[in-house]
Amino acid sequence: MPHGTWRNGFHLMPPTGWLNDPNGLCQLGGTYHVFHQYSPDWPAPSAPRGWGHFASDDLVHWRAVGDGFAIAPDTPDEASGAYSGCAVPVEGGVRIYYTGNVKEAGDFDYVRDGRRSVQILVESPDGCQMGEKNVLLRNADYPAFCTRHVRDPKVWREGDTWWMILGARDVDDRGLVLVLRSDDGLRWENAGTVRPAEPFGYMWECPDRVELEGREWLSFCPQGMQGLPWANGIRDQAGYVPVAAGSRVSEGAVVDAGAFRRWDCGFDFYAPQTFVDESGRTILIAWMGLPEADFESAPDGMAWCHCLTVPREVTAGAGGALLQRPVAELEALRGARHELAAGGTLELAEHRADVLLAGAGRAGSLVLDDALAISWEDGTVRLTFADDRVGCGRDERAASVDAVRDLRVLVDSSAVEVFVNGGELALATRWFPRSERLTLVQRGQALLHIWEMGDGMAGTY
């Protein structure tokens, strides 16, 4: 199959090169901005890593901003990469905070020595024109119990006070979050930590704070999780914990790692970031990939690698859970509509579809191209690859809910996202289909509603 068939229609992906963590998510003057980690020279060895940039007026139709780096690693304080960060809309523009990474030449472990972690601020009037880079924090500014791994600032304001959280690894190899305070968003002081009652991973990346209905959740990506029974042998996980009622992340809350919930139970999901748009919605976007996995990121010969999830609206659920649903705007891409009864087969001209199944019943499955089965039985939902060429090393993922009442499946060339029970459970995966047309087979008892999907990336590249 030509590699061009795997290019996505409504999942953000790079024109060429490597994409990973979403960064700087915001809405500014009605325009949505999605930055991301970007190495346009991938797969060249030691390809420089900076930020790429997309913009949209509706979260559906996207345009690439510029033809290279939006933020380039072009100063000595980011010589090894302009790493992840966030954006804060302010009067007159937006502030972008991110980590500059520097790995010194020499015989270092790059954990306790040999690495510089620098927090940098860039201001922009419109999210596109970038001002000068200003260094705010260096290693000497972090608490003495930190290793050289401190990164990924998330910044917000509460009244007249600015807050920053940073992912960190301490000298005892325990993950935590640093909390910093500022009166102006420029001069920062250490204000505490957020730690689990018991050790939970050796490093916490990509910290985030979600506030809904007067309550807070801490989102983070713990590393060193591969030995846990639910981790599928994967070192790097992405999830959240509810902060105790009446407590605040800015107050240095102690969190219960036993309450950790994965954002997504599929194969490809990491480094989620949230933002609140101008209508007040909390929206999440994540990288459909992993830092280290035992399956392929891209088959040989591809000139680009990875994509982002669709924007997901996050709402508060029962029992401290967070629900995720594709933003409603995606329905604007729906085209021709089909119905598929139990035992039926449908063939579509392209691998782009929005599939809705209500009243799923006790058991059933939806099979894509005789290669990927989305199945459910007694509340357990599975993604199972029957064709290793299509899965490129992915085999099976499973997760449970009390019962499966509905499913929604988004198929977009080389990306599949599954949402169960209105977003109670999500499973994302990359796949690399070998057929030119998409074949769907329903082996359940309910009626499937299927829409062919348009291309929100048309003309982007």
| Options 21, 77, 170, 208, the catalytic residue | 21
Side by side, the strands of the sheet bearing 215-223 are 203-212, 215-223, 239-242, 261-262
Q: Which of 418, 351, 431, 427 is nearest to 391 (CA)?
A: 431
Tell me how far CA of residue 319 lies from CA of 76, 149, 242, 281, 461, in angstroms: 47, 33, 9, 21, 44
- Name every residue whose Cβ is closer than 8 Å to that of residue 109 and which is 6 or more positions away in sequence: none
Cα–Cα distance between 316 and 439 in angstroms, integer? 35
At 99, list the tokens.
Answer: 């980590």
Burial 262-282 (b: 16+ CB within 10 A, else e): bbbbbbbbbbbbbbbbeeebb
Cα–Cα distance between 328 and 121 in angstroms, integer? 33
Cα–Cα distance between 1 and 5 in angstroms, integer? 7
Which helix (DSSP H) or strand (DSSP E) does residue 415 occupy? strand 415-420
Q: Is 21 a catalytic residue?
A: yes
For 164, half-sphere exposure in the C-beta direction (CA atoms, 13 angstrom radius) is: 33
- Name every residue whose Cβ is closer than 8 Å to that of residue 260 and which is 6 or more positions away in sequence: 200, 222, 239, 240, 241
- Scan for tokens 């229609």, then name that residue: 9
- Name every residue whose Cβ is closer than 8 Å to that of residue 73 and which is 6 or more positions away in sequence: 48, 49, 50, 79, 80, 81, 82, 100
Cα–Cα distance between 244 and 222 in angstroms, integer? 20
Q: Which of 191, 287, 207 is nearest to 241 (CA)?
A: 207
- Strands 254-255 and 189-196 turn out to be parallel
Residue at 384: amino acid letter: T
Cα–Cα distance between 436 and 369 in angstroms, integer? 10
At 249, list the tokens.
Answer: 């992340």
Tell me how far CA of residue 87 lies from CA of 90, 102, 206, 334, 385, in angstroms: 9, 22, 14, 31, 38
Q: Which of 143, 141, 135, 189 is nearest to 162 (CA)?
A: 189
- The CB density around residue 58, as the number of other CB atoms within 10 Å, is 14
| Active site (catalytic) residues | 21
